[in-house]
Amino acid sequence: MSLVHNERTKLTATYINGVAIAVFAVGSFAPAIASLNGVGSLLSAGNLIVLICLGASAALHFLARRTLKALRHDD
């Protein structure tokens, strides 16, 4: 039974980490690349959104890491 539990836990952690990557890519990485290409400005009012997305991405990543602590091992 713990094998099924572990696989479900890993799947959940992978999903959460994937959402963290998406939040980072859309909210932080894309505006930085756009500013390098002259499309936007990194020193704009959107900086707050970039910081929020960076924080949310980090929080989701650490939530995924915490989820993995629920893994069971047979002793």
Q: Where are the domains of the chain?
A: 2-69
* C-alpha distances in Å from residue 63, one per residue of 1, 33, 42, 69, 74: 24, 27, 28, 10, 24
pLDDT digits 0-9 by tens, 23-58:
999 988 888 777 777 765 555 666 788 889 999 999
Across 60-75, average pLDDT: 90
Per-residue confidence (pLDDT) for residue 15, from 0 to 100: 98
Distance CA 46, CA 26 (A): 13
Per-residue confidence (pLDDT) for residue 65, from 0 to 100: 96
- Tell if the pTM clears 0.85, that is, is over it: no
